Every structure is written in C-alpha cells, then in structure tokens.
Chain A
C-alpha cells in the first residue's frame, strides 16, 4: 500500500482471524440511541424497534452504548442487560459491537468479558473519562481490558470530548498492538489529518487487517487516506443519505461525494448544536416519526424552540420528506 521505493517492513502480525470473527462486512458502523419510557426506564420494546430499524439498513455492524446510546447514564447492570437484549435480538444477522468504556479498569474488563459471554462480536474502548492517568497507566488500563476477552478490541481516542485532551497516541497504539493481539482497530474522534494519516500508515504496515474509522461520518475526508468507513450516529436520522455517501466513497467517487458530504456535515453540526448529542438525536427521531422518549438526566430534552429550529434545519436539508419516517422502511 505504501510506495514502491519505500522500504516497507513486513507486517509483524496477522489479525485476519480476529477481524473476520467480528463479522463486520462493510465499513458503516451504526451507533444507535437507547430509548427510555416516561418513567426513565429503558424501553426494551422500543429498543427492539430501534435495533431492527438499523439492522434493516444492513450496516457493517451496530456499535451499542456509544455516546448516542448514553452509556454513562446507565447502571452497570442495565448496560449488561442491553447487550444481552441486542445480541439476542439482532446478533445472528448483524454483528453487535459493545462499547465497554468505564472509568474503572476492572469494571470495564468485566463488561468486555460479559460481551463475549453473551455473544457480541467485538468491543470498543475509549480512554477513561474524568481521569488523566499517566501513559503507563493508560496502557495498563487497555491491557487489562483487552486481556479480559478474546473478542476484537477497537480503541477509541476522543480528546475533544474527554476534556484534558486525553488521547491515544501512535506510540501507545504501537505498544498495545504488540502486547494485545486482539486489539485490531482504532476509532478516531480527533479527525486530524496528520495523526490519522500517520497512524493509518503505521497500522497498515504492521497489520494489513487493522481497522480505522473516524467517529463521525466524515467519509470523503478520511477514506482517501485509508479509513475503512466510519462510526455513524446519524444513521438514526438519515440512513439513506449516509448509505449513499458511503457507497459513493467506497466506489472512490470522492468528488461526486462532495454534495452529500456537505449535507452530512450540516446535519452533524445541527445535531450537535446547543444540547447534547442524544437529546438532539432523540428530538430529530421524534420529528421523523420514531419517538424514543427523552434522554436521561443530566441531559435534558430539547425545549420547544430548539425542536422548532431542528425541524426547520431537517426540512431545509431535505431530511424530512426524503428519509424514512416511522419505523417501516
């Protein structure tokens, strides 16, 4: 993949078996919300509809309990119950990847072990929030969790959301790839071309099967430099637009993808404006005929004026009127 004059070293490892076991068969990984009823309890019937809606769009995988899924507003047992429910519901047809991030290494490791036990196909692991551990303890954190499971582990670096700019650097990835054979992917929340490109080059040299995704749908800007696809929270709202964008990029028609990338970029700004990601997403889903309740506190639902603005934004972006409304496709 790198230049012919470039004296590329031979790969040092082969993760093909572990990556294949994830069942991820394309690079669009949907990340759904978690619905709550009027009492604030998880609405499992509705969760079934949410998962079914995503699965029907044939994503490469579904990554549950990411930011959109409000993992940090759930109790430990609720997280495990949701994982079991998702795997039982859609796991046979659609790979379920579980975000097992927790500030405590031991708790996170127990989530990883549980994910394997109930039949998930991989785990996803972000930096421990709130804490700012030194590098050697960050590495220890990731090692502990990766060693608690045989599943594929995808690291997620998100210094923009984890304040204090705690990030997973290239040298940390290199160490972890050497120490943990089941660490087979990296999700980039920084979306900074230099570090993304440097890491992509390094990981491909070491392991041609290593996966890399941005954590939002900036596909036209990342797939030309080697991203496999992206994490996609917006597929809850605009699955057709996101699928079209992904397909065009996969065909390497990057100039042709520009207009759709602009629409996705606008939608991404709209959905992160003012309130939290889950609050905006849930309001947007309600506007599209898929009511999923309110976010859990501390996130509050959108006030009516913000809902009106959101409706106007979704209308001007041709989301309302062109994307699926209701639960049926």
Chain B
C-alpha cells in the first residue's frame, strides 16, 4: 500500500540551514549571538528550514538544560518564518524522549534523532528507541543515519519501513552515510512505500543524490557560502549539470577543508565572514592562527570572500 504524508508533517524539499552554537570566551553559550546566527539563516534566500542542535552545533558538549534553551531560542527567533527541526539525539532513550517532548512544547515543526551513539545496538533495540520517540510526540520525526560514527552501523530499510507503516508522522531521514549504493536503496525502497518520504543527505552532496530521489540536504557550507549552496541546488533542479558539477566540487572542497577540527574551522570561517561566534567547547579544539590562515586561503581561492554576504 502506498502511504502519503499529511501536510502538517511534510518535510520541505531543498536545503536547510543548521546553526552552530556560539560561545563566549568563557565557553558559555552566547544566546545573544545565537539569535543573530538563527536570524541570519532564516533570512537567507531560498533556505527551506532550520535544524537546531545538529552535530556542528556541538550538542554532545551541551547540558540538557542548555539544549532545551537553545531549542526554545531558535524556535522563537525563527518565529514561524520557516519550519524548525530540533535534533534530540542522545545515547539515552529517556533523554532523547525528554528533548523531543520539549521540542514539541516550544513549538518546533519536527525533531530529528540520530541512532543512539556509543552503544552497539541491534536493529530491534534501535526500532524500540524510535518507537518511544514517535509515541511521545505528535510532530514530524526524522531518523538520522550516520553509520560511520555509530557503533550499531546503519539503519536497515526493514526498520524504516516498519516505522513508515506505523507512524504517519515519521516523514524522513537524514542520511550521513553519503554512500551511493545505500542512499539509492533508501530512496527506492522508502519512497516506494511513501512517495513524499524525505531522504536528505547529511550535508550538501547533492549532484549525485538528487537524481536518485534525494529531496535535499542539511548544510555545512551555508554559514559561510549560502549563495554557492543554493546555486548548486538550483543548477541541479534545472538540470544544468556542467554548472552543478562545478559548484558541487567547490562546495565539496570547502567542506573538505572544514573537516579538519570541524566545526572549529567553520567557526573561524564565520568570523572571517564578519559573523564571529566564538570558540568550541572542549574536547573540540578552537581554531588558532594557523587555522585562520588556512581557512582564509580557502575562502579566497573559492571566491567566497568576494561573492558571499559579510556580517549579519
């Protein structure tokens, strides 16, 4: 049987921005700057949503109370202009459920949850984890698949099909496997069960994923080079493949350069673009002068300093 998603749960198609968590020099969350970051992303033309507390926001180095406050500040700042999704992943199902319920309470459009990291779980245990989340909320829910970082490996299509079959608000997955073969199978199998099921890449690997059914991505580059990011999306939608090739390679190169000390290199990049967001919390390093010089070279080489927006 083919299922369809109710409009109230349907994930937008395109690229969603994911704010970093700004820190003061004392490593406290800087909520004032957070509002600026979120507002910047919300005003970014062609952005289709905001994902709070994604990996680049350092959620694993934040207290539960900090995560709740960031969820609230993000939702209030966006203020209905775009859908807000809160990442609620945590090794404890109880905590993930608590964060999910809180996300619904503050008015989020949906939640996204990574497979519990650290534990090596069976597919049955992972299924039970997502069942608890889906039973606890009545907003859109996305699964976040990141087999390279998770002891349990990837989410099986059988598990995802079962969730699709049972929960009308299970509406998408964020796939950070970035693997050509498994991504193709996720699209083929899951969209055959529910044609509007969102299958999004973790970050902007779009030129190879959209043709097989990818519905968009979350953004690594959008804090630095939003125009490049959305030009890539538009080129693919228009089947301008030579342009898409060029932009995909450029976005990918920027991403590669930011992988070193991610997200500290990214935070340095934001500072160079006139949007300072402070250091990273330990154990992640804060970018130093060497990082700054390297990132500056990358931004210059890729035309970002010249072509993208500076300041807030």
Q: Do the two shown chains form a genuine complex with each other?
A: yes
List the interface of chain A (C-beta within 8 A of B): 1-7, 190-194, 196-198, 200-201, 214, 216, 218, 220-222, 224-226, 252-255, 257-258, 261-262, 265-266, 268-269
Contact assessment for A193 and B180 in the assembled complex, using a CB-CB cutoff below 8 Å: yes
Q: Cβ of A214: which chain B residues have Cβ within 8 Å of it? A: 180
A192 to B302 CA separation, bound complex (whole angstroms): 23
A-B Cβ contacts below 8 A, count: 115
Q: How far is the CB of A271 from chain B (nearest CB, A)?
A: 12
A-B CB proximity, top 5 nearest: A5-B303, A254-B211, A221-B180, A193-B205, A221-B208
CB of B71 to closest CB in A, whole Å: 29
Bound CA span A255–B241, Å: 11
Asked if A2 and B249 make an inter-chain contact with CB atoms under 8 angstroms apart, the answer reads yes
The answer on a CB contact under 8 Å between A218 and B302 is no
A218–B209 alpha-carbon span in the complex (Å): 11
Q: Of the listed stretches B48-56, B250-258, B273-281, name the one at the interface; the rest are far from the partner chain.
A: B250-258
Q: Are A266 and B247 in contact (CB under 8 A)?
A: no
Is B246 among interface residues, defined by CB-CB distance under 8 A?
yes
Given A3-B302, A216-B181, A266-B188: A197 and B205 interface contact (C-beta under 8 Å):
yes
Across the interface, A5 reaches (CB within 8 A) one of B239, B255, B307, namely B307
Q: Chain B, 199-232, contact with A by CB distance < 8 Å: what is the 0/1 string?
A: 0010001011101110000000000000000000
**B-chain residues with CB within 8 Å of residue A253 when the two chains form the complex:** 239
> In this assembly, does B291 line the interface, its C-beta being within 8 Å of a C-beta of chain A?
no
The reply to whether A194 and B178 contact each other, CB–CB distance below 8 Å, is: yes
Other-chain contact of A265, B181, B239, B255, B306 (Cβ < 8 Å): B181
By the criterion CB–CB under 8 Å, are B246 and A220 in contact? no
A257-B211 Cα distance, complex, nearest whole Å: 8
B148: nearest chain-A partner, CB-CB: A192
The bracket for how many chain B residues form the interface is 35 or more
Asked whether any CB of chain A lies closer than 8 Å to the CB of B183, the reply is yes
Q: B184: which of A4, A194, A198, A261 is its contact (CB, 8 Å)?
A: A261
**B181 A218 Cβ-Cβ under 8 A:** yes
**Shortest Cβ gap from A2 to chain B (Å):** 5
Q: Determine if B66 is an interface residue (Cβ-Cβ < 8 Å).
A: no
Given the complex, which residues of A lie within 8 Å of B293, measured CB to CB? Answer: none
B248 at the interface (CB under 8 A from A): yes
Q: Are B239 and A220 in contact (CB under 8 A)?
A: no
Q: Which residues on the A side are within 8 Å of B1 (C-beta)?
A: none
Verify A193–B208 contact, CB threshold 8 A.
yes
Q: Are B249 and A225 touching (Cβ within 8 A)?
A: yes
